[in-house]
Amino acid sequence: MGLITEAKNGRLTEEMKQVAKDEDVEPEFVRRGIASGRIVIPVSPYRRTKPCGIGKGLCTKVNASIGTSSDIVDMEMEIKKAKVAEKTGADTLMELSTGGDFYEIRRRVIDSTELSVGSVPLYQAFIEAIRRYGSAVDMKEDELFRITAEQAKLGTNFMAIHTGINLLTVERLKKQGRFGGLCSRGGAFMTAWMLHNEKENPLFSEFDYLLEIMKEHEVTLSMGNGMRAGAIHDSTDRAQIQELIINSELSDRSHEAGVQTMVEGPGHIPIDEIETNVKLMKRLSGEKPFYMLGPLVTDIAPGYDHIVAAIGASLSSAYGADFICYVTPAEHLALPNVEDVRQGVITARIAAHIGDMIKNDDRQSDLEMGRARRDLKWEKMFELAIDPEQARAVRDSRSPEDEEACTMCGNYCALKIVKQSFNFER
Ligand code: SF4
């Protein structure tokens, strides 16, 4: 029996109790959130995972996406990326391989982590079609559903599925045009498939069948944002909003069918459109958990896109986004390596916390850090830091003569001078 049914029947499951404990909220709050669709806990009947609650009233969660590409297939590196993401504090992983043996890579990644793992079945379906028939547009619809069920049976907890692209959305896209096209691989593949075959997206036309698969394997549905703009100049356009409306309608059907559901948001948008995007999505979808992909708030900082996305993600989270996908320094440049993943997770966690300070008034650790700084308690500062290893390494690399201060001001440490004259203890 799925979590929605359990929640609607008034039963508290172990996952609900654990999420309530981790978030310091009442179990009943989590149960009601799941019953109403405002909270999801991606689970799998095929393996035990660390329960991760995503949704209204909970802290913002961070996803780290990993996976091979057609150019670089290094299974050991993917396992290292999965492990470093988990160690650095990612809440979930998405395994998005597009090269090598899909089954083997996903199985090994899933075996290597306690985190919930997500996937995009469309990638595998299209790439297998290219390998088998020579072209993605020759993908067979039943193969897409078969692959979806197979990935679920491996223990996949959630899937990004491009349900909201239909002939109407594509028509809007054609009419309006775009500067930067599409940045969603699934969206690009599916659009090409629909135009070539002059057919409706099977994930839209066979939505009830898709829900049967999701329900049978207890997969959480993450409604993909295939029309998201790949350039700031195309943000919040008609095609994107069309897809959001369709996904919002489908998200109601999905929840009614007992399938936990999230809705995904855009990838490239300027700062002044973030609030609108988050509030519009929340309003249209009836407060379903919102999974924001970044967003990138400028297009001109390749190499630093983890920082650009952290700025967007902190605002998204503050306005109500529940789940953010990290971006690494390699975004739009190369397949991320292990260090890119580490930096991506840390910067996304910083963004999530900045948002939670506003959204959930989560400021206790900042208060404690302020006191530790005032009192020059270095060990306490490291303990409270989001990345203690980095903080310690920087201080140790330039050790001060006076152990109390640091080498920035040395003998003239303002905090030390003030401490001698005032008692600021609060
Ligand atoms: S030396 Fe300057 S920067 Fe370092 S702790 Fe003191 S006041 Fe802060």
- What's the confidence (pLDDT) of residue 183? 72
Q: Of how many residues is the chain composed? A: 426
Residue nearest to atom 4 of ligand 1 (CA): 406
How far does residue 375's CA lie from ligand 1's centre (Å)?
11
User: Do 114 and 79 share a domain, yes or no?
Assistant: yes
> Dihedral of the CA atoms 349, 360, 354, 63 (nearest 10)?
20
How far does residue 415's CA lie from ligand 1's centre (Å)?
6
The atom number, within ligand 1, closest to the CA of 373 reads 5
How far does residue 358's CA lie from ligand 1's centre (Å)?
28
User: Do 89 and 237 share a domain, yes or no?
Assistant: yes
User: Do 387 and 340 share a domain, yes or no?
Assistant: no
Asked if residue 369 has its Cβ within 6 Å of ligand 1, the reply is no
User: Do 70 and 180 share a domain, yes or no?
Assistant: yes
Asked if residue 1 has its Cβ within 6 Å of ligand 1, the reply is no
Asked if residue 367 has its Cβ within 6 Å of ligand 1, the reply is no
**Does a structural domain hold residue 43?**
no
How far does residue 386's CA lie from ligand 1's centre (Å)?
20
Among residues 359, 378, 401, the one where a domain terminates is: 359
Asked if residue 418 has its Cβ within 6 Å of ligand 1, the reply is no
Residue 314 structure tokens? 């902190």
**Does a structural domain hold residue 414?**
yes
User: Do 389 and 253 share a domain, yes or no?
Assistant: no
- What's the confidence (pLDDT) of residue 331? 95
User: Do 117 and 193 share a domain, yes or no?
Assistant: yes
Asked if residue 375 has its Cβ within 6 Å of ligand 1, the reply is no
Query: Which stretches of 134-262 are DSSP H helices?
Result: 141-153, 167-176, 185-197, 202-205, 207-216, 238-256
How far does residue 313's CA lie from ligand 1's centre (Å)?
30
Asked if residue 409 has its Cβ within 6 Å of ligand 1, the reply is yes
| Residue ranges making up the domain that contains 375 | 364-421
Which are the contacts of 99, defined by CB distance < 8 A and separation ≥ 6?
A: 68, 69, 70, 71, 72, 73
How far does residue 307's CA lie from ligand 1's centre (Å)?
25
User: Do 394 and 279 share a domain, yes or no?
Assistant: no
**Does a structural domain hold residue 53?**
no
CA distance 396 to 416: 19
Among residues 359, 375, 404, the one where a domain terminates is: 359
Asked if residue 372 has its Cβ within 6 Å of ligand 1, the reply is no
Residue nearest to atom 6 of ligand 1 (CA): 413
Pocket test for ligand 1, best of 375, 377, 406 (most atoms within 8 A of CB): 406
User: Do 176 and 260 share a domain, yes or no?
Assistant: yes
Label residue 100 left, alpha or beta by phi (over 0 means left) and psi (-120 to 50 means alpha): left
* Span between the terminal Cα atoms of the chain, in Å: 51
Asked if residue 415 has its Cβ within 6 Å of ligand 1, the reply is yes
Angle value at C-alpha 50, between 48 and 53, nearest 5 degrees: 120
CATH number (domain holding residue 342): 3.20.20.540
User: Do 115 and 179 share a domain, yes or no?
Assistant: yes
Q: How many CB atoms lie within 10 A of CB 198?
A: 7
Q: How many structural domains does the chain have?
A: 2
**Does a structural domain hold residue 132?**
yes
The atom number, within ligand 1, closest to the CA of 416 reads 6
Which are the contacts of 422, defined by CB distance < 8 A and separation ≥ 6?
A: none
The atom number, within ligand 1, closest to the CA of 376 reads 5
Pocket test for ligand 1, best of 408, 417, 420 (most atoms within 8 A of CB): 408
How far does residue 408's CA lie from ligand 1's centre (Å)?
6
- What's the confidence (pLDDT) of residue 421? 81
User: Do 401 and 354 share a domain, yes or no?
Assistant: no
- What's the confidence (pLDDT) of residue 282? 97
User: Do 172 and 222 share a domain, yes or no?
Assistant: yes
Residue nearest to atom 3 of ligand 1 (CA): 408
**Does a structural domain hold residue 166?**
yes
User: Do 339 and 401 share a domain, yes or no?
Assistant: no
Among residues 309, 339, 359, the one where a domain terminates is: 359
- What's the confidence (pLDDT) of residue 301? 97
Asked if residue 393 has its Cβ within 6 Å of ligand 1, the reply is no
**Does a structural domain hold residue 349?**
yes
**Does a structural domain hold residue 281?**
yes
Backbone angles phi, psi at 48, to 5 degrees: -90, 135
**Does a structural domain hold residue 113?**
yes
pLDDT tens by residue, the chain, 426 residues? 799 999 999 999 999 999 999 999 999 999 999 999 999 999 999 999 999 999 999 999 999 999 999 999 999 999 999 999 999 999 999 999 999 999 999 999 999 999 999 999 999 999 999 999 999 999 999 999 999 999 999 999 999 999 999 999 888 888 888 888 777 888 888 999 999 999 999 999 999 999 999 999 999 999 998 888 888 999 888 989 999 999 999 999 999 999 999 999 988 999 999 999 999 999 999 999 999 988 999 999 999 999 999 999 999 999 999 999 999 999 999 999 999 999 999 999 999 999 999 999 999 999 999 999 999 999 999 999 999 999 999 999 999 888 889 999 999 999 988 888 877 777
How far does residue 389's CA lie from ligand 1's centre (Å)?
19
- What's the confidence (pLDDT) of residue 418? 87
